[in-house]
Chains A and B, each alone.
Chain A
Amino acid sequence: MIQRSSVWLRILFSFALLAAASCQQPSGSALSAEQQESDVTESEALDVANEMVAAWEALDLDRIISTFAEDGVLHSMMIEPIVGREELREHIGKVINGATRLDLKLKTVAVSGNTVMLERVDDFDVNGLSGAVPVVGVLVIEDGHVTEWREYYDRNQLLSEMGVKTDYYGGGKNIDIYMAAVSAWREKDLDTVMAQLTDDIEFHSLVGRDPHKGSEEVRAFLESLSNSMTDNKLRVINYAESGDNLLVEGVEDFIDAEGRRIQIPYVGTYKIRDGKIARWRDYFDPAIAERIRNGEPMSDSLKELVSAGDE
C-alpha cells in the first residue's frame, strides 16, 4: 500500500537524520549514553505511532484501542477529550462503523523524544461518501502506548466531508443511541437496531397508523421494510434533546422494491429509558411518497428539503 510504504520511508528518513546527527559527534567518539537512550525512545515512539496509523487504516478497532494506554486520551482540540479505553472504544467504534476505507496520507512525520507529530491528509469513505481533510496529530508515547493524542483540524470541514450536518459527538447521549440505530438500519443490521430499543418498545412508524408494540412486532415490521428497500441513506438533519427526550428532523432516502428513489422529510420524537429507545413516533405526510410512486415530479422546495445532507 502506498501510504504504508510512505510511512516507512518517512521513518527511514528520520533514522537517516538521526544517523546524520550522530555523525556530527566529535570524531570517532561513541554515542553518548544520553544520545543512545534518546534514539531508542524516538525509535520506539515511531513504532507505536506507526502501529496506530496501521490500525486505523485497517479499521481494526481492537488494535486501535490496544495501542492506546489504559487511560489514554484522544483530544480533538475543539471538543471535549475522550478519556480511557472504554470511552475511546465507544466513540471510535462509531467512526469505524460507518467507514469502509481510511488512508492516513502522511505528509510529514517528526519525532522529538517520546512525542510524534503527524501531518496528514485523512482520506476516507464514510457512509458512502468520500472525503479528505488535512490534520496535524501530536502523539505522546509512554511504555509502548499512546497516552495522549491531540488532533488539530477543521471539524466543520471534516463533518461536512463526512456528510454530517450536525455534530453528534459533541452533543448529548440520546442522539448517540438514535444514531447507532440509524447506522445499523442503513446497513440492514437489525440485531444492532433492536439492541437500541427496549423490549416493550412502542413504535409509531407514522403517527396515525397502528403502532407496533414490543420487540417481536417491531422486528417483524422492520424486517419486511428492510427487505423492500436498497441503498438506504436515511440521515439526520437537525436534532435537539431535553432530559429523556430526543427530537429529530431527517430525510428518509432509499430505493424501493420497484426501483424508485423515495425521499421523504420526516420528524420524530423518541423517549429514552435506561440507554434504549422506549417510545418512537415518526411524523410525515405519506402523500409525499405516494406522489413519487405515481411518477409525479418533486417540487423544487421539496427537493431542496431532501437535499440536506445528501452530498
Chain B
Amino acid sequence: MNNFGVVKSVIEHWRQLNVDAVLEHVADDVEYHYLVGLEPLRGKSEVRDFLEKFGADQTDIKWKILNYAENGDTLLVEGLDDYVDGKGRRIRTPYMGIFEFENGKIRRWRDYLDPALIKRDKLGEPQEIWVEALISRGSN
C-alpha cells in the first residue's frame, strides 16, 4: 500500500470509528499533533485514548481529502473535517495535515487549522461565505 493509500484506509476506518484498524497504520512511537500549537500525543496508547474519546459520540463522519501531494515519505493534504458531534451539531472544518511515514506507517502526523472555525459550528453561528465556499468543494 502506498502512503496515500494508507491515509485513505485511515479515513475509511475512522468513518466506521474502527480505532483498532486506524492504529494498524500508525507507528508504535507515533507523534500526533491533532492541532499544531497544543501538546502532541506520543505513542499508540495516547493516540488510542484520544481517538476513542474524540470519536465516542461522533456520527455521520464525512472526513475527506480534497487536495494532496507527496514528496518521498512526506505527504501533505488539504481536506475537510466533517462530522456530527454528540450534541447533534454538524462540524465542518477546512484543514491541512502532514504525514511523515516510516516503513509504511505514520510516524509523525500534524494537523493545522483555526479552532475558531470549530467554535462557530458549536455555537451554531453560520460560517462566513468564504469558508462556506471552501467547505462546499467537499460537500458534493
Asked if residues B68 and A242 are in contact (CB atoms below 8 Å), the reply is: yes
A60 within 8 A of B: no
B98 within 8 A of A: yes
Asked if residues A284 and B69 are in contact (CB atoms below 8 Å), the reply is: no
Q: A245-B69, A247-B96 are in contact. Are A285 and B78 (CB under 8 A)?
A: no
Q: For the side of the interface on A, what is the size category?
A: 20 to 34
Asked if residues B69 and A267 are in contact (CB atoms below 8 Å), the reply is: no
Asked if residues A238 and B76 are in contact (CB atoms below 8 Å), the reply is: yes
A239 to B76, CA, bound (A): 8
Asked if residues B74 and A283 are in contact (CB atoms below 8 Å), the reply is: no
A247 to B99, CA, bound (A): 12
A267 to B68, CA, bound (A): 12
> Using Cβ atoms and an 8 Å threshold, which residues of chain A touch B70?
240, 242
Asked if residues A285 and B67 are in contact (CB atoms below 8 Å), the reply is: no
Asked if residues B117 and A285 are in contact (CB atoms below 8 Å), the reply is: no
> Using Cβ atoms and an 8 Å threshold, which residues of chain A touch B130?
204, 210-211
A224 within 8 A of B: no
- The residue in A207, A242, A266 that gathers the most chain B C-beta atoms within 10 A of its C-beta is A207
Chain B: CB-nearest residue to A289: B37
CB distance from B114 to the nearest CB of A (A): 4
B84 within 8 A of A: no
Q: A207-B134, A238-B74, A247-B78 are in contact. Are A284 and B36 (CB under 8 A)?
A: yes
Number of interface residues of B (CB under 8 A): 32
A286 to B35, CA, bound (A): 12
A101 within 8 A of B: no
> Using Cβ atoms and an 8 Å threshold, which residues of chain A touch B117?
207-208
Instruction: Please choose the segment from A39-47, A48-56, A253-261, A299-307 that sits at the chain B interface, where 4 or more of its residues have CB less than 8 A away.
Output: A299-307
Interface digits, B34-58 against A, CB 8 Å rule (1 contact, 0 not)? Answer: 0111011000000000000000000
CB distance from B1 to the nearest CB of A (A): 18
> Using Cβ atoms and an 8 Å threshold, which residues of chain A touch B35?
285
Asked if residues B96 and A283 are in contact (CB atoms below 8 Å), the reply is: yes
Which listed residue, A240, A241, A285, A287, touches B75 by the CB 8 Å rule?
Answer: A240
A283 to B95, CA, bound (A): 7
Asked if residues A240 and B112 are in contact (CB atoms below 8 Å), the reply is: no
A288 within 8 A of B: yes
A113 to B110, CA, bound (A): 56
Asked if residues B114 and A208 are in contact (CB atoms below 8 Å), the reply is: yes
Asked if residues A247 and B114 are in contact (CB atoms below 8 Å), the reply is: no
Chain B: CB-nearest residue to A208: B114
Asked if residues B96 and A285 are in contact (CB atoms below 8 Å), the reply is: no
A72 within 8 A of B: no
CB distance from A268 to the nearest CB of B (A): 8
Which listed residue, A240, A246, A285, A299, touches B113 by the CB 8 Å rule?
Answer: A285
A299 to B33, CA, bound (A): 13
A246 to B70, CA, bound (A): 10
> Using Cβ atoms and an 8 Å threshold, which residues of chain A touch B39?
299, 301
A158 within 8 A of B: no
B21 within 8 A of A: no
A207 to B95, CA, bound (A): 8
Chain A: CB-nearest residue to B42: A301
Q: A239-B71, A239-B76, A242-B69 are in contact. Are A285 and B40 (CB under 8 A)?
A: no
Which listed residue, B37, B67, B68, B98, touches A249 by the CB 8 Å rule?
Answer: B98
Which listed residue, A211, A241, A269, A288, touches B78 by the CB 8 Å rule?
Answer: A269
A204 to B39, CA, bound (A): 26
> Using Cβ atoms and an 8 Å threshold, which residues of chain B touch A238?
71, 74, 76, 98
Asked if residues A305 and B36 are in contact (CB atoms below 8 Å), the reply is: yes
B positions within 8 Å CB-CB of A: 33, 35-37, 39-40, 67-71, 74-78, 94-98, 110, 112-117, 128, 130-131, 134
Given contacts A240-B69, A265-B112, A267-B97, 15 further A-B contacts (CB under 8 A): A204-B130, A208-B117, A211-B130, A240-B68, A241-B69, A241-B71, A247-B67, A247-B76, A265-B36, A269-B78, A283-B96, A285-B37, A285-B115, A301-B39, A305-B36
A positions within 8 Å CB-CB of B: 166, 171, 204, 206-208, 210-211, 238-242, 245-249, 265-269, 281, 283-288, 299, 301-302, 305
